[in-house]
Amino acid sequence: MTSQQNPLGRIYILPQAIKSVARHAALQSYGVISLAPANVFEAAGQLLRRNSSYGINVTADDEGLYLDVYLVIEYGLRIKTVTDSVAEAVKYNVEKTMGIPVIRVNVHVRGLRISNPD
């Protein structure tokens, strides 16, 4: 849980809210097909119950947030271009929405897919 202090009191932000904003930003980026589970346990949990928070890990400390995003991207696109775009979009949207500085966004490509086989 992340918290901020202001003159009126304290604001608590749950990691689930940060994951939701980051998920939306990543899925709206060009070339992203879907998010992927980070590990075997997350994949098993996603199969057993519909969990929309898979694919993004949030770590917070005194300086800000560290995000790990796990993606499946479109085959035929430059991987570096897509990952740079996703990292910038996630960083911008989380900082703008939550008001918490994002120190680092790590983008992990877990697979490639052909979305429209013509």
* pLDDT tens track for 53-75: 678 999 998 889 999 999 999 99
Please state, in angstroms and as integers, the Cα–Cα distance from residue 49 to each residue in 15, 27, 36, 44, 52, following that order. Answer: 19, 21, 15, 9, 9
**What is the per-residue burial (b if ≥16 Cβ within 10 Å, else e) of 66-75?**
ebbbbbbbbe
Q: What is the pLDDT of residue 10?
A: 87
Asked whether 33 and 115 are in contact (CB, 8 A), the reply is: yes
Is 108 contained in some domain?
A: yes
Residue 47 inside a domain? The answer is yes
- Whichever domain contains 47, its CATH number is 3.30.70.1350
What's the total number of domains in the chain?
1
The predicted model scores a pTM of: 0.83
82 assigned to some structural domain? yes
Query: Domain residues for 92?
Result: 2-113
Q: Is 118 part of a structural domain of the chain? A: no
Per-residue pLDDT tens listing for the chain (118 residues): 777 777 888 888 888 999 999 999 999 999 999 888 776 666 556 555 665 667 899 999 888 999 999 999 999 899 999 999 999 999 999 999 998 999 999 999 998 988 766 6
Q: Residue 42 domain-assigned? A: yes
- Token pair belonging to 73: 């991207």
Q: What pLDDT shows up at residue 46? A: 59
Please check whether residue 103 lies inside any domain of the structure: yes
- Asked if the structure places residue 90 within a domain, the reply is yes
